[in-house]
């Protein structure tokens, strides 16, 4: 579908675009043939116009991990307490050396337990992953091919300000692309379309599905 709409951005220009699109729809028996390319064009325009941000590795590291245990929390707090006790001992060299050794022992125990839980979690993940496909998630992680999802950040409004978060961005897009359906601002073409869609369909219903058709489709899903 290739359509050039050379119209001025005003009320008359918008009415001209509506009329052209309405005339184009009348040539299609299947509306999807017109709607699908239109959605593709809208998607391409949005991808080119909207600012997006990619997930960053250092942000991903801050998320909670599934392998963390209560024992690791206790060991981590104990190691921090031993470190503070060692650092605050300044007047007694023998006591400082003794507390230093206790701190190093506590830290080694904590770090060793962390590595143990990490390895255990990784082995479990690899075991439950689908083994018949060598190109599954395990391979993608090992080769660094895991992609993060792009997300919308901010949009500039007509008054020069910017949206602040995802919710305000989506609301601004809805207000811009999905206008209020107000009858007092309609032109003749809009009133004609509203009248047409309120008419009940006059075409015969499609034939009902047979048991054989339903059974054949269910077998394809299994």
Strands (E), the chain: 52-53, 151-152
The pLDDT value given to residue 171: 87
Return d(Cα 156, Cα 160) in angstroms, integer. 6
The pLDDT value given to residue 115: 93
Identify the burial level of 199 via C-beta atoms within 10 angstroms of its C-beta, where 0-12 means exposed, 13-18 middle and 19 or more buried: exposed
Contact of 24 with 3, CB cutoff 8 Å: yes
Cα 97–chain centre separation:
53
What separation in angstroms does the CA of 214 have from each of 46, 204, 221?
Answer: 39, 22, 11
Query: Comparing C-alpha atoms, which of 129, 128, 174, 178 is closest to residue 155?
Result: 174
3-class SS of residue 118: helix
The pLDDT value given to residue 131: 55
pLDDT in tens, 144-174: 776 766 666 788 888 888 888 888 888 888 8
3-class SS of residue 157: coil
The pLDDT value given to residue 113: 93
The pLDDT value given to residue 152: 65
The pLDDT value given to residue 58: 47
Return d(Cα 192, Cα 187) in angstroms, integer. 9
Return d(Cα 153, Cα 166) in angstroms, integer. 6
Parts of the chain with a pLDDT under 70: 1-9, 28-32, 52-64, 128-139, 146, 148-152, 222
Rg (CA), the chain: 32
The pLDDT value given to residue 59: 46
pTM higher than 0.75: no
Domain-by-domain residue ranges, the chain? Answer: 65-143, 148-198
Contact of 110 with 79, CB cutoff 8 Å: yes
Return d(Cα 18, Cα 12) in angstroms, integer. 10
């Amino acid at each position: 579908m290739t359509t050039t709409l050379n119209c001025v951005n005003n009320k008359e220009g918008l009415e001209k675009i509506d009329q052209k699109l309405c005339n184009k729809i009348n040539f299609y028996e299947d509306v999807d043939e017109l709607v699908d390319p239109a959605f593709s064009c809208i998607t391409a325009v949005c991808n080119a116009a909207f600012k997006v941000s990619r997930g960053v590795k250092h942000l991903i590291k801050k998320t909670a991990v599934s392998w963390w245990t209560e024992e690791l929390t206790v060991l981590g707090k104990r190691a921090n307490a031993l470190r503070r006790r060692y650092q605050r001992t300044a007047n007694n060299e023998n006591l400082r050396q003794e507390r230093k050794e206790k701190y190093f022992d506590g830290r080694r125990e904590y770090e060793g337990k962390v590595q143990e839980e990490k390895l255990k979690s990784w082995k479990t993940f690899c075991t439950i992953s689908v083994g018949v496909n060598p190109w599954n998630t395990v391979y993608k992680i090992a080769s660094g091919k895991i992609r993060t999802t792009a997300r919308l950040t901010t949009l500039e409004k007509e008054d020069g300000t910017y949206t602040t978060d995802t919710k305000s961005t989506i609301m601004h897009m809805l207000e811009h692309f999905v206008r209020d359906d107000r009858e007092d601002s309609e032109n003749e073409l809009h009133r004609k379309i509203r009248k047409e869609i309120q008419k009940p369909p006059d075409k015969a219903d499609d034939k009902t599905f047979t048991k054989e058709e339903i059974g054949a489709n269910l077998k394809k899903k299994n």
